Amino acid sequence: MHDTLFYIPNELDGMPLFGVGLLLGLWVVLGVGATAWLLWRQGLSADTLTYLGLFALVAAAIVWVLPALSKPRGLPIRSYGVMMLLAVVAATALAAWRARRRGQDPDMVFTLLFWLLIPGILGARAFYVIEYWWKQFWPSYEHGGLGTLLGAVVNIAEGGLVVYGSFIGGTIGLVLFARRSRLPLLALCDLLAPSLMLGLTIGRIGCLLNGCCYGGLCEQPWAVTFPRGEPPQYSPPYRSQVERGLMYGFAISGDPDEPPVLLSVRPGGPAAAAGLKPGDRIIAVDGQPVSTAGAAHWKFEEVFQARRPLKLQFAGRAPVGLPAVAVPERSMPVHPTQVYSMINALLVCLLLLAYDPFRLRDGELFALMFSVYPITRFLLEIIRTDESPVFGTGLSISQNVSLLLLLGAAGLWFYILRRPRGRAWA
C-alpha cells in the first residue's frame, strides 16, 4: 500500500498555484491555443464545442476542486488517481488502435472519451456515495457541515469509484453519443468492451496501492498485510479489523445497522480463551450500551486506540473482559482481492480480444463481457469484506447488481442472435 506518491506545493515563488493562480493561467493559455487550432481546422463544429466544454470543466476543477483537496503540505498526488489516469489512457489507446483497424477515424474515439469519461466518473462516484452514505459521508456532514460533505464527495483521488456505477454512467453517455453522431450503437459497444476491461485491470492496481476493495482473513502464502497508517486515519483494511473486533479474536458485522452479534470467534485468540461463542449478542462495550454494530465499531476503536482492556457485556451471560492488545504495525493477513480482480479483468479482456475475429454480429463482445464479468465479480465478492449485505438478501450490493446484469445479458443475447448476421465495421 502506497496511497500518496508526492505533494505538489500550494505556492510557487510566493504565487498561488491552485484556485485563481498560476495553474489556471497556464490552462487558459493552453485552452485558447487549442481552441484557435480547432476553429482553424474544423470551424465551430459540435466536436469543437465538446472540447470547449471539457476545457471549461477542467478550469472549474482548478478553481474550486483542487483548493478543497489541498493539504498544508500541498496537493497530494494519490496513487489511486494516477492509476485511474493511466487506465483511461491505456483504454483509449486500445480503442483508437482497434478503431483504425476497422477503418474508423481514431479521432472519433477521443471525442467519445469525453462522453464516456464524465458520466462514467459521475456514475462511479454516485454509486459509491450512495453505498457508503451512512458510514462515511453522513458523519462528514455531522462533523463539518455542508462544505466538508462536498469536499468528501468530490475527493475521488483517495479512492471511491465503483465499477458498476461507471458502467451505468458510461452507458448513458455512449447511447447519447451514438444517437448524436448517428453511429451504430452495438458496434461502438464492441469497440469499447475490451478497453473497459483493460482500464479495470490497471485501475485495480490503484485499489491495491490505496488499500480499498480488500478481502477477508487469509492464511495462504500469498496473503498480504496493510500498514496501520496514522491514527485515527487507519488504512481501510486495518480500520475494518479494529472496528469489527478482529484484533481481539472475534468478528461482528461490518454493516453499522446490523445487531452487534458475534459472527465468528477465532480459535486460539483472546475471545476464544474467554469462552465467547458465535451468536453471543453484545449489549454494552466498556460500560456503554450498544444496540447496533455501528455503535460497537466506535467503542472498539476508542478502546483499541487507548490500549485499554475491552469490557464486554452480553445478553444472558456475565460480563467478559479481554486484555488490551498490542497495537500491530500492520493488519492481519487478508486475501489480495485487488490482485485477483486485476487478473480477472485482464483475462476477460484477452477473452474478448480472442473472440473478436469470430463474432458474427455486432454486440456479441459487449454481451459476452456482461455474461462473464458479473459471474466472476459475484464470486470475488464472496471473499471481499469491504461491502456488507444489503436489502436483506445476504448479498453485497455488487452481487445484487451482478445478478441484474446477468439477466440483462440474457436479454441482450436474445436480441442479438435474432438479428441477421453482419457487422457494421468489418
What are the backbone dihedrals phi and psi of residue 313, each rounded to the nearest 5 degrees, phi first? -120, 130
Distance CA 195, CA 52 (A): 25
Q: What average pLDDT does the segment 354-377 reach?
A: 94
Residue 156 CA to residue 121 CA, distance in Å, equals 9
Residue 344 has pLDDT above 80, yes or no: yes
Does one domain contain both 145 and 192? yes
Ranking 55-64, 135-144, 177-186, 392-401 by mean pLDDT, the lowest is 135-144
Q: Where is average pLDDT lowest: 21-35, 140-154, 271-285? A: 140-154
- Burial category of 125 from C-beta neighbours within 10 Å (exposed 0-12, middle 13-18, buried 19 and up): buried
Q: Answer yes or no: do 263 and 145 share one domain.
A: no
Task: Evaluate whether residue 69 is within a structural domain.
Answer: no
Task: Specify whether 135 is located in the same domain as 268.
Answer: no
Whose cell is 486485476? That residue is 342
Q: Are residues 184 and 240 in the same domain?
A: no
Number of domains in the chain: 2
Within this chain, do residues 301 and 344 fall inside the same structural domain, yes or no? Answer: no
Q: Are residues 198 and 160 in the same domain?
A: yes
pLDDT in tens, 7-44: 888 888 888 888 888 888 898 998 888 888 878 877 77
pLDDT at 64: 81
> Which pLDDT band, with edges at 50, 70 and 90, does 170 fall under?
confident
Identify the three-state secondary structure at position 155. Answer: coil
Q: Does a structural domain hold residue 3?
A: no
The CATH number of the domain holding residue 246 is 2.30.42.10
Is residue 223 assigned to a domain? Answer: no
Distance from C-alpha of 332 to C-alpha of 306, rounded to nearest angstrom: 20
Q: Is residue 58 part of a domain?
A: no
Residues 233, 307 within the same domain: yes
Place 157 in a pLDDT band, splitting at 50, 70 and 90.
Answer: low
Kindly list the distances between the CA atom of residue 191 and the CA atoms of 89, 256, 353, 360, in Å, as whole numbers in the listed order: 15, 42, 10, 14
- Does the residue 317 lie in any domain? yes
CA distances from 368 to 183, 230, 383, 405, 420 (A): 21, 44, 24, 11, 18
Residue 155 has pLDDT above 80, yes or no: no
Model-wide pTM > 0.85: no
**Of the candidates 322, 356, 386, which is a domain's last residue?**
322
Domain boundary among 322, 355, 388: 322
Range from 108-112, 134-138, 215-219, 399-403 carrying the lowest mean pLDDT: 134-138
Backbone angles phi, psi at 322, to 5 degrees: -105, 135
**Side-chain half-sphere exposure of 424, counting CA atoms within 13 A:** 16
User: Does residue 278 form part of some domain?
Assistant: yes
103 and 199 together in one domain: yes
Give yes or no: residues 287 and 346 share one domain.
no
Check whether residue 295 and residue 398 sit in a common domain: no
97: β partners: none
CA distances from 34 to 60, 85, 118, 227, 422 (A): 18, 21, 20, 44, 39
End of a domain among 275, 297, 322? 322
Q: Provide the residue range defining the domain that includes 144.
A: 78-217+335-417
Q: Is 48 contained in some domain?
A: no
Q: Is residue 54 part of a domain?
A: no
If asked whether residues 213 and 240 sit together in one domain, one would say no
The percentage of the chain sitting over the pLDDT mark of 90, rounded to a whole number, equals: 42
Distance CA 301, CA 244 (A): 9
Q: Is the pLDDT of residue 50 over 80?
A: no
122: which 3 cell numbers? Answer: 459521475
pLDDT at 159: 59
Whether residue 78 is predicted with pLDDT greater than 90 in this model: the reply is: no
* Domain shared by 160 and 260, yes or no: no
Burial class (CB in 10 A: 0-12, 13-18, 19+), 292: middle
